[in-house]
Amino acid sequence: MKPVPTPGRTRDGVRQGLIVPIGGAEAKMRHRRILSKFVRACGSKDGRIAVIPTASEADDTGTRYETVFKEIGVAGVRVFPFATRDECDDEAEVEALKRADGVFMTGGNQLRLSTTLGGTRAAYALREMSANGVHIAGTSAGAGFLSEHMIAFGAEGASPRADMVTLAPGLGLTNTVIVDHHFRERDRLGRLLTAIGYNPFVVGLGLDEDTAAFIDPDGIVKVVGSGSVTVVDPSEVEFTSMDSAKQHDPICLVGIRVHYLIEGWAYNLGTREATPASALSAT
């Protein structure tokens, strides 16, 4: 098995592609700034985008995104249903997937993604593609699946509790963040804090609807969209009571840092600093 790439890792001098988790309900009709920015990164009209609707139970999800991307101006859009593990292991389909400049995974149920794609040729191909410069985005469930650590499901609420969240392995494009989506709309701060309490290593990204985090190979997160990204930084955590907590118990976290970032702001996953995005281009 090949090693899982992390942001900034290169292979033969090729920089990793963008990793773009989106909080769900991104604008598809007017003001499509998230999808339009993703399209530009993939080469605009000359780019080839693969749509993977595996997470969704709706039959028309893939074709709806195909239409949206074509309206934005992408000529080369193809839907890869990947509804079964056999389809995910189909050599011809996987080879066709590898020709994409960008991959977009739709919303739905993230466990449908992990149980269908996990361990298949398609999953290995996606990690290899990301490491070789292909940009990969996911919205809602697709966003949660992008990282190595995935929130499978959990309860709503602002305060962390021991039994508030269930974790599962994700796709593994990065091991530096854990993503939650529909964040403000579904009151998910508590479950993101709980997930971080298990192992205060990853940075939590809580994405509001119509809001995305464009993560570049240098570990710079740029916020795009109409909402905010809640950044939960555990690098200065002094204590967590997760190891002694019983079912339903509240969790104590001491030293956690939280930032609320809107469009025009950026966050450095290496230095753990938030800055205006304009300051990055000036340096």
Q: Catalytic residue among 56, 114, 130, 140, which?
A: 140
DSSP 184-216: TTTT-HHHHHHHHHH-TTSEEEEEPTTEEEEE-
Q: What whole-number distance in Å separates Cα of residue 149 and Cα of residue 151? A: 7
**Amino acid code (one letter) for 249:** D
Q: Label the pairing between strands 76-79 and 48-52.
A: parallel
Q: Catalytic residue among 26, 66, 93, 209, which?
A: 209
Q: What whole-number distance in Å separates Cα of residue 48 and Cα of residue 78? A: 8
The answer to whether 93 and 80 have CB atoms below 8 angstroms apart is yes
Q: Catalytic residue among 135, 149, 181, 182, which?
A: 182
CA dihedral (173, 78, 224, 160) positive or negative:
negative
In the residue annotation, 31 being an active-site residue is answered as: no
Question: Would you tell me how many other CB atoms lie within 10 Å of the CB of residue 283?
Answer: 5
CA-closest candidate to residue 20, choices 222, 226, 262: 222
In the residue annotation, 147 being an active-site residue is answered as: no
Place of tokens 């995910």: 88
The tokens of 170 are what? 């994700």
In the residue annotation, 140 being an active-site residue is answered as: yes
Task: Enumerate the active-site residues.
Answer: 140, 182, 209
